[in-house]
Structure 1
Amino acid sequence: MMRFLLKLNILLLVISLVGCGLNSPAKKPQDQSPNQQIKQVQFDPQLANDIKKQIKTINGVKDSTVVVMNKEISAAIKVTGFHRFRLKSIKEEVHQKIKDMNKDYTVRVTSDKKLFKQLRQIEKQVEASPQKAPPDIPLQLHKINEDMQG
């Protein structure tokens, strides 16, 4: 019986010590050093719509989605039927048309269906509120851009 009580006391002591460690205050975002600067992110839905209009003029492109963040243009296209046989040349034509319109921008174009869907979701969020887009969008967009081939 005495051993049981001793083990119980030790167990309660360990639990209370571990529990106190979990309740320690977490660092707050304002505790960060002042040297860390938050980069301002700007979206341009108007430019994105202008680019989409230009992409629609290219033969074989069924649909497109475009997001413009800072000086980066991310575009995804859907190509119809037999035009998929010349997918590479269509992507190059889309890329060149966007680049000609916006020489100071980095341009990325994809025809990947999964990336199209992800980019479309971001486009809708940005169109809904370009000034107050969710803070995780730049990270999502960066990941999509890394996954693009061109």
Structure 2
Amino acid sequence: MFRLLKICLLLLMIVPMFIGCQTVDEEQYEGSGMIALHNKEFQDFKNKADGAKREVRQMEQVDRVRAVAIDNDIYVGLAVSGFDRFFLKDIRKSAQDQVKKKYKKENVHVSTDRKIEMELEDIERELHTKNMSKDQLRKKLDKVEEDMKG
């Protein structure tokens, strides 16, 4: 009985290691147009978005920042509360200038709209949890840009 228990415990420890240590096969993503999490282009997008977040987080008026980047576009959603809400236009302009200073060649889109910030948060979460094609990401961000204008 004790020996059977040892064998079961050993299997319970070894099997998850083999399951968790599987490598991702890039070939499965090539034909489907999916972005693998370790894809260099995806990492470039993520690095741009993270850099934009760092720049804007330094502003004391901003409570939360969400950012997603694709190609030459960076979309930034800001959460501003309290008295600072009276100065949303100035805060947006300042945030855009800070990101533009760091990423001169990029198109920077900044919004303080709560809906836009939530949509960007959802897109960020999907990028980290699912494999999304670049076209799917572009469609979602085009919708966000349209909402920013409308």
Task: Give the TM bin, normalised by the shorter chain.
Answer: 0.5 to 0.7
Q: Which residue of 2 aligns with 1:101?
A: 102
CA distance in 1, matches of 2:87, 2:95: 12
Match of 1:77 in 2: 78
Q: Secondary structure at the match of 2:118?
A: helix
| One-letter amino acid matched to 1:133 | M
Q: 1:133: which partner in 2?
A: 132
Q: Secondary structure at the match of 1:126?
A: helix
- What is the CA distance between 1:90 and its match in structure 2? 0.5
In structure 2, give the amino acid aligned to 1:92: K
Q: Distance in 2 between matches of 1:148 and 1:47?
A: 20
Provide the alpha-carbon RMSD of the alignment.
2.2
Aligned pairs, number: 109
- TM value normalised by structure 1: 0.66
Identity %: 26
* Structure number with larger C-alpha Rg: 1
Give unmatched runs, 5+ long, in structure 2. Answer: 1-32, 36-40
- Matched with 2:8 is none
> Aligned ranges for residues 30-109 of structure 1 at < 5 Å?
42-43=41-42, 44-109=45-110
TM-score by length of 2: 0.66
SS at match of 2:65: strand
Is the helix fraction higher in 1 or 2? 2
Displacement of 1:137 in angstroms is 2.4
